[in-house]
Structure 1
């Protein structure tokens, strides 16, 4: 007897913005499976490349066959999971919306965001916490020379921070924007119960009582391969952690005012975000600013 088909949703958005935390919380629900970034997005793009124009086998694989092959990646990768709802995590999914929506027309994307200066601050802290390791985040010695070259490299249009920032902005103004909900990291840490009630409504799932003080997630083996210990480590308790930035003031200022998700005029994307004047170090509780979420 064939196993019932799974429902697929996606976690995407910006790095260091709570995607691993969100997955760790969601997986408490026995109906859900969620984890850190999976390899499916890379396999997905590589498969499309292999059957696209210019490749020898492109004329041998029809559009319908391509769809079945791509859908089969998900079925095969998650075949040993018994949960009926799977959340696949990858920052690249916001750049693959047209294909995803054809394969999974009922799927939705949870997109995590955070003010860019604090993303850069978080990555710089991890870099400095591993001073005897040349992390794979940087391609050349010149890129890792100073905090300025490191941040510039990460902000590149095809790099760790710049790529998902551009991809998310594109998705917010796409034909499928109503399938996205943008969730700000500070909202999760300060109002987790409220955020997850809204997320369940957005997903059309029955609400679940999560434990926001008993989380357990650490991908230490994966992080060791990147040379960046702690990249996917989740603290046991969901709570704010105010701090001063370690970035030079001019560098911090350069990436301020880039939170486009706080003013999405003309976009159908849903939002759970803080007011524009809320700052990570202020200690104030931001207010939710959302579109009307489906009930």
Structure 2
């Protein structure tokens, strides 16, 4: 959070949080699903047991433990007012309240959203995220690469615009505790 505050004085962090045991369970399910493919999470070391993997993930240097410690530091630190904790399930279980809380937190006027007419096209999302190109690197066409590059370029432009807005906004004083949305 210190580094983010230094780079983006008016920046905010919204952290989607889950119970640590659920996170570790999700990772373990992925590992078991790909039993014959050693994972980079565990330095490509094959084997081990569920217990050794949990110990590796949950310790202070593990993927889950390190993130958890960083979140605690942000929550109890001097920049806690710039942090919002959003329960992982809330955007799907109560999207109206979740989105309203986010708009309030970032200090933007709420936009009207139609939560009854939401569609999701996995192939389209994967293409824009560049996932299709990584998954099928040998069969990736030039068109896909151009689309993915355009999305990255567009994302960078939005980040630069947000950064310039944040830098020109007046500073907010005083320490406030991190917001949470259940």
- Secondary structure of residue in 1 paired with 2:84: strand
Aligned residue among 94, 105, 116 for 1:191 = 94
Q: What is the distance in 2 between the residues matched to 1:272 and 1:183? A: 5
Label 1:159 to 1:106 Cα distance change in 2 as closer, same or farther (>3 A): same
Q: Which blocks of at least 5 consecutive residues in structure 1 are unaligned?
A: 1-96, 226-266, 274-295
Aligned residue among 268, 273, 278 for 2:177 = 268
Tell me which residue corresponds to 1:204.
Answer: 107
- Secondary structure of residue in 1 paired with 2:40: coil
Which is bigger in relative contact order (C-alpha 8 A, separation at least 6)? 2
CA RMSD in angstroms comes to: 2.4
Tell me which residue corresponds to 1:121.
Answer: 25
Deviations 1:77-114 (A, max 9, x none): xxxxxxxxxxxxxxxxxxxx122212211110001110
Deviation at residue 191 of structure 1 after TM alignment: 0.8
Q: 1 or 2, which has the higher helix percentage? A: 2
Deviations 1:200-225 (A, max 9, x none): 11112232316573234333555799
Q: Report the TM-score when normalising by structure 2.
A: 0.65
Tell me which residue corresponds to 2:67.
Answer: 164
Q: What is the distance in 2 between the residues matched to 1:180 and 1:159? A: 23
Q: Which blocks of at least 5 consecutive residues in structure 2 are unaligned?
A: 138-175
Runs of 4+ in 1 over 6 A off after TM superposition: none
Q: What is the distance in 2 between the residues matched to 1:172 and 1:111? A: 10
Q: What is the distance in 1 between the residues matched to 2:104 and 2:132? A: 33
Deviations 1:103-145 (A, max 9, x none): 2111100011101111111111111111221111102637x41
Label 1:221 to 1:204 Cα distance change in 2 as closer, same or farther (>3 A): same
